[in-house]
Structure 1
């Protein structure tokens, strides 16, 4: 079979009847079908198929499944396992927007979060929005960074994703519009091999209200993906990118497997693959990893 449709749900949330429903939907469109292959009991299953476009297969499943809380990702059967992962950080690898949480210590969380929301949905220029938010924090003591870090939590499945791909030889990198103070710590916590982000400038023990230039933005994320792939002699088909905001769209679009993870509407609508319900281990199942191969998330 030339392609695979992978269905993933939160643990224990994938009904045994759903693969049959999906197969019926694909067969109705003329697909040739292989036998279902369970990657994780009641959580993830592969449905091999051919003679049908991957996006048609996903659309057919969604029509048949209605609002069932199950994610569907389709792609070529060959080359599923990727050798390079590029991941956004805020609201992707960690559960929060670290700049918004930092702004809370200046009493400005709501104002900053609104700018973040509009920027991540593509309504504002990213670089201009970042500068506008950072200047609002001028004079904030540096211990607010440490306090914010203590309240920062990993997204479920983040460690499992990075540890498993790394164990199978992939280079895993963070590419964030956030700040090195956080990306360095998240990289160490998860096992990312490298991290790429912006640098907050300081003066006299407080934030200076500025960020080092050039801004690490949408174009820089794409450039990081292409550079890391080229350094390793990898085609784009061997890469995986995941993110949730408008500044992730370029790298998501260029990667062999580009995933919108619990993403903003503009990103979810544009991405070829999306995960709305399962945790980040869904990206491993989409590559054909089986439950026993996936390293612990703890």
Structure 2
């Protein structure tokens, strides 16, 4: 065995976690007077893995034996590797790859890891962001440009039935950002115009036109004016009834509440109606809202719209306007939508997220989230479920314990 003096030692301990393990190891290292170069520690289901890279003392064998003795006393296993270099951060191509599954199967992770390796990239670190109601894992990847990695993994995500987001590993992910959201079938479940149409006895016809418009088969403005015309004569009080019947997407309040704590700003940009979106914005403490205004005369809908229609181009224009008002670049904007009229908005944002979207929107967006939980968005931003629940608990919001 090569007994030449090494420059570094990598000490890896594994075993049952308990208080005092890390302190005991570092007490031994302190006695040897070594320099700590790197540390990684995780606890997985009560099992501790502790890796410490230190400078090698002159009598490195004595330190090896002392650490081995300490590990034995703790009932743990230890490996001491000589001459291991420090972690080298690759100069280019650093990304955060967030994988969300419900469930997340080993076969999916194998396929994803394989595609990353095929690109010549390396997984430097893995962190769990959530285990319930979805499993979310964050991979720190280096060695390939994010754009190329996103292209490769988008195909694999579809094949494996999981959601994958690839974002550059830069300061932008940690800064204050603007979230711009669609409303119908994104922030709220269902379509407001169809709920109104149910009061007017025209739900089936409106639903048919809406579906075609969201698939991009019809011009949005033309389809909207056609649908609104079917609401002529409806009492304005129906708007109150529809608002009271709205159901937010699961996790919507949690997402907004969590990100507002971090200074994020929010905007609603909708092809729906301001009589609804303005109230939603007030209820959720949303900073901006832009939508179409239904014309109301003598307490009834006329079947018309006041002013220009907020269409596909109008949504993107509103995003740029709100970003300027907040004072953030478009690269710091996250847009969330599901329909064809959201495409320009998703493209204008630094990160465009297709949320339970139509196929053509999923294909065009930076990433897709297909689980029915809007707060899954926070995992893409490096925020764990444990952090969300801890912040909520401080203000008396208690989340039910997940199943074992």
TM-score scaled to structure 1, two decimals?
0.91
2: CA distance, partners of 1:177 / 1:37: 38
Report how far residue 177 of structure 1 moved: 0.7
Report how far residue 22 of structure 1 moved: 2.3
1:197-250 per-position Cα deviation (integer Å, ceiling 9, x unaligned): 111111122111111111112222111111121223211111100101111111
Please name the residue that 2:351 is paired with.
257
Please name the residue that 1:5 is paired with.
97
Q: 1:201 aligns with which of 295, 318, 340?
A: 295
1: CA distance, partners of 2:367 / 2:231: 36
Q: 2:116 aligns with which of 21, 26, 38?
A: 26
Report how far residue 14 of structure 1 moved: 2.8
Please name the residue that 2:203 is paired with.
109
Q: 1:246 aligns with which of 334, 337, 340?
A: 340
CA contact 2:295–2:305 (8 Å) conserved in 1: yes
CA contact 2:98–2:138 (8 Å) conserved in 1: yes
- Equivalent position SS for 2:117: helix
2: CA distance, partners of 1:5 / 1:133: 41
Q: CA RMSD in A?
A: 2.2
The correspondence of residues 140-219 of structure 1 with structure 2, limited to 5 A, is 140-219=234-313
CA distance 1:3–1:96, change in 2 (3 Å): same
Report how far residue 189 of structure 1 moved: 3.0
Report how far residue 60 of structure 1 moved: 4.5
CA contact 1:260–1:268 (8 Å) conserved in 2: yes
Greater RCO, CA 8 A, separation 6+: 1
The structure with the larger Rg is: 2
- 1:135 maps onto 2:229 in alignment: yes
The correspondence of residues 68-147 of structure 1 with structure 2, limited to 5 A, is 68-78=160-170, 79-81=172-174, 82-147=176-241
Report how far residue 267 of structure 1 moved: 1.1
The count of aligned residue pairs is: 296
TM-score scaled to structure 2, two decimals?
0.68
1: CA distance, partners of 2:324 / 2:189: 31
**Higher strand residue share:** 2
Q: Which deviates more, 253-262 or 210-219? A: 210-219
Give the ranges of 4+ consecutive aligned residues of structure 1 lying more than 3 Å apart after TM superposition.
15-21, 53-69, 295-298
2: CA distance, partners of 1:261 / 1:66: 14
CA distance 1:210–1:278, change in 2 (3 Å): closer
Q: Which runs of 5+ in 1 are unaligned?
A: none
Q: 1:223 aligns with which of 304, 317, 323?
A: 317
